[in-house]
Structure 1
Amino acid sequence: MRQSSSVPRRVGVSVPHAQTQRPDTPLGPDDPSRLGGYRLLGRLGEGGQGVVYLGRDEDGELVTVKLLRGGTAATERARSRFIKEADLALRVSGRHTARVLDADVTGDRPYIVSEFVEGPSLQHVVEDTGPLPAPRLRKVALRTAGALAAIHRAGIVHRDFKPGNVLLGPDGAKVIDFGIARTPDATPITTGPVGTPGYMAPEQIEDEPVGPPADVFAWGATMVYAATGRPPFGTGSSAAVMRRVTSSRPDLGDMQGQLRELVARCLDKNPAARPTGPQLVRALRDGQSPAPKPKPKRIPRYRWRMMVALAAVVAAGFLMGVLL
């Protein structure tokens, strides 16, 4: 299967750091020089799933090319995840998301080609220059909320929205990386929490059903980082951070005004109490906060187990009384 789309050039792909005109690392002896009709110029980054290259297409335009690690030796699970990433990314349309240009997922070297964004990640901008000034922060907030709305409109949950997956290009912020995205009703390929601890929603950490509200939680945490220079649940070991996510109040620093109010609602432990992506867009665009949702009490999974066990004991006692 070979897939392609005729969208304009210049959007990023799943790269864990800034993208620039120059690749971070030149091609090594084991790197291909070409994939399909794309000439590779060097490495932009790599992760557990694959290696991302800077390349040029046949028209000379810069692109990013993500190659599945292992090629023909990749496991069936890895290949399935890679095919899923391509399929999901092709379904998302919008000005503020990274769209796929081309994909070959059935050959000996499966790859995905995406438009190229010339710009650093939000993570690196904040690390290098500090928190974003208020006017730029508001623009990034609106564009990334628009990206989430487009992702959710396509029936997809990103599941790893974070500062490193927001690129700040000349046309504004764009969201990248659908490597662990999936539809809400899909059967998980992996078990246990998947994501980046400081930006994972409580339901992700507790291995409960994950839907669009988890992305909204991650958006709120990302905006705190952009505004203050630190994540809302601190740093440290993954276990410590995840414990604070599920049990502690977020630290919003000196955030002010409407954005602080929106972020606080996004970071509610209860998924049902968080605003939706479209509500965030309308609130940021119109300067008004959406009406708060009723907050049904969220019962942690371990309490559900206790309640079920207690109900079983009561039922058993009742049955024995009837029999006696």
Structure 2
Amino acid sequence: MKLPQSKKTLVSLAEQNVTTIMPGYTHLQHAQPISYGHYLMAYYQMLKRDKERFEFNQVHTDVSPLGAAALAGTTFPIDRQFTANELGFASVYANSLDAVSDRDFALEFLSNSAILMMHLSRFCEELSMWVSHEFQYLELSDAYTTGSSIMPQKKKPGYGGTDSRKEWSRLRAFNGLTSTMKSLPLAYNKDLQEDKEGVFDTVKTVLPALKVFNGMLQTVHVNKERMQQATENDFSNATELADYLAAKGVPFREAHGIVGQLVLKGIQTHQNLQDMSLETLQQAAPQIEADVYHDLQSDVAVERRHSEGGTGFDQVKAQIAAAKEALS
């Protein structure tokens, strides 16, 4: 698996964008500003778990069935541990029936591959938005885009196997073998011959997909100014104002309502929270003072998220340092 290269590329790109600010989304709506490096490290964590799953899968695959014979073992005086060692296996099946009928190792591989492809597909679906005219957060290299048959201006992401169609095909392979296995009695049945095609095809799909994914990441251009601007003409700092009021002693439930009314006023008057006058803010909550404008800045909002695993710059740097140590 070429997961380590992709993880290294994600970490490298994250390290370059610790202080790059972008909108964080829930329900595809602006929620709170976050570090783009933090966003990338979320996908690093996904790939890290993918690698761990494949490593555990190897434990279940590295088991010798030799000596199980048809299902009951053999009368010949063989040394199964010796043959396993000679063939490079770490252990032997403890039960001859299980040895003949087990395909868990193949199911695990297909399941792990489906999850991995889901992660790549998820990243690429978001990438399709980030490179669109409406967002323009990122720009892909021409090497990873395609044109249109009739529209000269089009520059479409060409993921080469990391899209949802390929992810769905891996899921079908897993579901297909699961459906084959679920009704089979012990021990051997000819249906078990169907275990190989999906596995081989999955290898042919996943390895190139990882190569394309890694190359695409290495050549992506990040429009840092565009990302930051997207957090300065919205209300993603509303939570900062609610937290500010809570720190002043206002119960958060009340603070939530106060800020909600200010957001409504901002929508009606075409003003962002940070653009409202201090008088307007104080009419809603007299506890607000001039220092609130500092807290309402998007980069300050990100930097202050110091909780472990949060989007604060120091926390993102800590995530990157831990990842680099693990990768080394």
Hey, which of these two has a bigger chunk of strand by percent? 1
TM-score, normalised relative to structure 1: 0.24
Give the structure, 1 or 2, with the largest relative contact order (CA under 8 Å, sep 6 or more).
2
More helix by share: 2
Of structures 1 and 2, the larger Rg is shown by 2
- Normalising by structure 2, report the TM-score: 0.23
